[in-house]
Amino acid sequence: MEVLQLLISGMANGCVYGLVALGFVLIYKATEAVNFAQGDFMMLGAFVTLGLVNPEFMGLNFWVALPIVFVIMGIFGYLLDLFVLRAVFGQNQVAIIILTIALGFILRFVAGLIWGHEPLSLHSPLALGDLRMGELVLGMADVAIIIVTFLLTLLLWQFFQRTKVGLAMQAASQNQMAAYYMGIPVKRIQGLVWALAGIVAAVAGILYASKGAIDPNAGFIGIKAFAAAVIGGFGSLPGALMGGLIVGIIEPFAARYLPAGWSQIAPYALLIGVLLFRPHGLFAQVRVKKV
Amino acid sequence: MRIHFKTSYDHDIRLFQDGWQAFLYAALLALMIALPWLIDDFFLGEATNVLIWSTCGLGLMLLTGQTGQASLGHSAFMAMGCYACVLLMEAGLPFILAFPLGGIITGLIGALIAIPALKLHGVYLAIATLALAILTDDLIVMLEPWTGGVAGKFAPPIYVFGIEINRWSNPTAWYYMALVVVLVVTLFYRNLLRAPMGRAFAAVRDSEISAQAMGVNIARTKTIAFGISAGITGLGGALMGLFAEVFNNETFTFILSIQLLMMIVVGGLGFIHGAFLGAIVIAFLPQVLSIATDSLGSTVAIPGLETGVFGLIMILFILFEPMGLYGRWLKIRTFLELFPFARKDMFRRQKSYLKTERLR
Amino acid sequence: MSLLTLDNVTLKFGGLTAVNKLSMTVNEGEVFALVGPNGAGKSTVFNLISRFYTPVEGKITFDGKDLLKLAPDEVPSLGIARTFQNIELFDQATVLDNLLVGRHRHRKTTLVEQMLHLPSVRREEREHREAVEEVIDFLDLQPYRNKRIAGLPYGVRKVVEMGRALASKPRLLLLDEPASGLSVEETQNMRWWIDDIRRQMGITVLMVEHDMGLVSKVCDRVLALADGAKLAEGTPQEVQNHPAVIEAYLGTGDAA
């Protein structure tokens, strides 16, 4: 029973990690930029929702606010690509890594200015309380998170398989030059990928805030999500989700069954292990550069 | 514009291009030596802080600027250097031995860590080193019997040749100690750059394939770069911990490594000067900000302001001056030397499209 | 006397056979060219010799030593230097430093000596620089000596890359398309240089080249490849007039 309980709550955490990791991988595949601020995107998404929904701010109905949040975060992602990331396109990785880390710093600062540094909780319809079945205590929010993540994954999969934009994104991520020659507006597609990453981050943020409180430093879970993305394989979307789940599940089990301190270390130890023995992740195929 | 007539191979080997340049650096050194008489103890402490940051920055610069490997984990090496030095001092070693030994130990550990990390490129290396930095924080807590854990450790008193070096009773001595360390490190750094090893670093940075074809052992070169880089940063970390006098796991958080990386980018990646200029920015930014907020009439500290402003500075630099402060200075100098013949696009960035490091 | 020998070498990428049972011998002191249509496996042969690829079967020997026992970075120590089809220089370094990297295999000082810049290091540096200046003089690179590679024109980079290989004082020089992308004049220069490299410096040259004009002027022997297998071998004229070669380039019309 206890195992099941740990598993569910771990999976719920893992879904949030997985969704943030998904954002990294989306952007990495399409633009080769690594968005170290993806965790802060998630934090921003949560706060934007909170600002629209919570009674002490605008107090909108959640379902009315939801599309507005997606539009705001989508436009945010697109504009960020247009004005900031595009300027460093093709420059070395160090520049892009630092750029996105700096972006995270700024987002954290701005969120702190607007919404303060006290943890706030979101008035979310997913905050459903606990369900008790004998010894088993199930957080309904956890179950809801898992379901929503599952649905979103299906939706994204269909999006990449069926829609024109989705297919163009796939093409651009495999070979930018070839995609460009085939008439795909690669730059606009990259902007749209950033927009999509913003929306996915918003979903992750709402799910995260449904489980507990949110504060400007919540973006730091992005680091764990990063570990998740690498564990799953940086080039693979399903890998990112799986990596997220693995990290999410390991944490509560390590906390329960290993000596104190290990639950903090476990995800990173796993990350280093994966990097040592399968540097390209558990779920990725590797090809070698041609000279 | 000065023209150099080179008459021997030594012209390209020696440290300074000509007498004028040597004179300028000698003047700078004289100024640095005279500094304790020119400024008060508070600013001398700040100057010491700049030198300490410069030492750490030089360490990372060697890895990132010269060898092209981004590390987000150098706070781990700062911590290692600091704990190694202090533990050796507590074991009875005099500071003058414990300090370099701490750096060497950190360098060896760094090289050991590098061996597996070498297989990783760009982003992967950055993430692996970030994980290392986060792990170090937790490890310091877990290794409490040695490290003092969360409660931390007090720096033992430092004696060099019988003189006590204490930042409160003897700030000038502390400053000189940091100055000597930074000078020695800079000299080693320069020596490496003008020797085969330094060129091998650049070769690995710019093209691993052709470096190999020229006989450069990539793994060995990267390991050496990582080791030396970790060692230098370890020395800087030891100075930082000793200067703070009390340190625990939170003294060396991973945020410190991010600051360090940002610092060398602001200063100018790939230039020794860059490490110093970046250190000046990072050491004085908090002061400037607190003066600014005071003058705006704000009495409470705004949390996150420092990192927020620093983030903004970073973004502006990467967008508009990717060569950093030192790169800006080079441009101004060239403009003045060639005036009025400087052309605007002399320093134009070459855009390389789709130069991918992804393996496909 | 044979310097480099490939004996029945085969390389496969997955299902694709890139090099198929290739045997060839490069003699000391000659200029040898590999020709063939795109995708014939010419550069792949270079990458085999550089040890970037390992053949599934066959032997490669250089001066009697088994090359397959070496790692890529150990190959230059035998005296093999190369250039790349798409120029692989150290872009952020100066021309001088690029050439000095070519001297890497001749270094004798240790890391600690270098850090301390002991007299031994300075002595060695002078030797390296003397050798490099000879190459600079030979290739007329004086105007670019202290310029960074990023910003140099294509033709100059091509020459610098050859210079870097020459600076290592090799016995065998591998030139991957030395004349591609060069103007008529630059190609002409390249021709004299290759001649001088062989005559004055006594370096054996193995090159991949499409420009048959250049090949027929500088090469002693030519080997034509198609689909990774040997088509013909002989003097430039023999190979150019070989029916199989003509077929591979032009097609016969009926079979294709």
C161 min Cα distance to partner chain A (Å): 15
- In the stretch 243-272 of chain A, residues with CB closer than 8 A to chain B read 261, 264-265, 268-269, 271-272
CATH of the domain at C25: 3.40.50.300
Query: What per-residue confidence (pLDDT) applies to C165?
Result: 96
Give me the residues paired with residue A130 across strands: A139
Look over chain B and give the mean of its residue pLDDT values, rounded to a whole number. Answer: 88
Question: Per the domain annotation, does C16 fall within a domain?
Answer: yes
| Predicted local distance difference test score (pLDDT) of residue A94 | 79
The radius of gyration of chain C's CA atoms, rounded to the nearest angstrom, is 19
pLDDT at A20: 94
Q: Which helix or strand (DSSP H or E) is residue A251 part of?
A: helix A237-257
More confident residue, C110 or A138: C110
Nearest to A279 among B119, B315, B322 (CB): B119
Residue C198 lies in a domain: yes
DSSP string, B170-218: -HHHHHHHHHHHHHHHHHHHHHHHTSHHHHHHHHHHH-HHHHHHTT--H
How many residue pairs bridge chain B and chain C with CB atoms within 8 Å of each other? Answer: 115
Q: Give the count of domains, chain C.
A: 1
Instruction: Give pLDDT, residue C34.
Output: 94
Q: How many CB atoms within 10 Å of residue A239?
A: 25
- Is pLDDT of B348 > 70? no
In a domain, A180, yes or no: yes
- List chain B residues with CB under 8 Å of A25: none
- ipTM, two decimals, is 0.90
Interface test with B, best of A81, A101, A226 (most B CBs within 10 A): A101
**pLDDT digits over B140-163, tens only?**
998 988 888 889 999 999 999 888
**Has residue C180 been placed in a domain?**
yes
Residues of C numbered 75-94 whose beta carbons fall under 8 angstroms of chain B's beta carbons: which are they?
A: 75-77, 81-82, 84, 88-93
B14: pLDDT confidence band, cut at 50, 70 and 90? confident
Does the pLDDT of residue C246 top 90, yes or no? no
- Which pLDDT tens digit goes with each residue over B67-86? 988 899 999 999 999 999 99
Helix B19-38 vs helix B41-61: crossing angle, to nearest 10: 140
Question: Looking at CA atoms only, how far is residue A291 from chain C in angstroms?
Answer: 8
> pLDDT at position C142, please?
93
Q: Is residue A102 part of a domain?
A: yes
Q: Considering only CA atoms, which of C199, C236, C238 is closest in space to residue C214? A: C236
Q: What is the pLDDT of residue C252?
A: 55
Q: What is the mean pLDDT of chain A?
A: 87
Q: Does residue C115 lie within any of the structural domains?
A: no
> Is residue C223 over pLDDT 60?
yes
The amino acid at residue C166 is L
- Enumerate the residues of chain C whose CB falls inside 8 A of the CB of residue B13: 122, 125-126, 129
Reduced to 3 states (helix: H, G, I; strand: E, B; else coil), residue B153 is strand
Q: What is the pLDDT of residues C171-180, one digit of tens each?
A: 999 999 999 8
Q: Span C94-119, mean pLDDT?
A: 94
CA angle C156, C149, B271 (to 5 degrees): 165
Q: Which fold has domain B38-346?
A: ABC transporter involved in vitamin B12 uptake, BtuC (1.10.3470)
How high is the pLDDT of residue C131? Answer: 94
Would you call A288 an interface residue with chain C, using a CB distance cutoff of 8 Å?
no
Residue A230 lies in a domain: no
* Identity of residue C38: N
CB-CB neighbors (< 8 A) of A291 in chain C: 43, 47, 52, 84-85, 88
Residue extents of the structural domains in chain B = 38-346
What pLDDT band is residue B286 in, cutting at 50, 70 and 90? confident
Answer yes or no: is C108 within a domain: no
- pTM for this predicted structure: 0.90
Beta bridge partners of C16: C13
Domain span at residue A46 reads 2-218
Reported as a pLDDT band with limits 50, 70 and 90, residue B359 is very low
Average of per-residue pLDDT across A64-86: 93
Look at residue C137 and tell me if it is in a domain: no
C91 contact residues in B (CB cutoff 8 A): 206-207
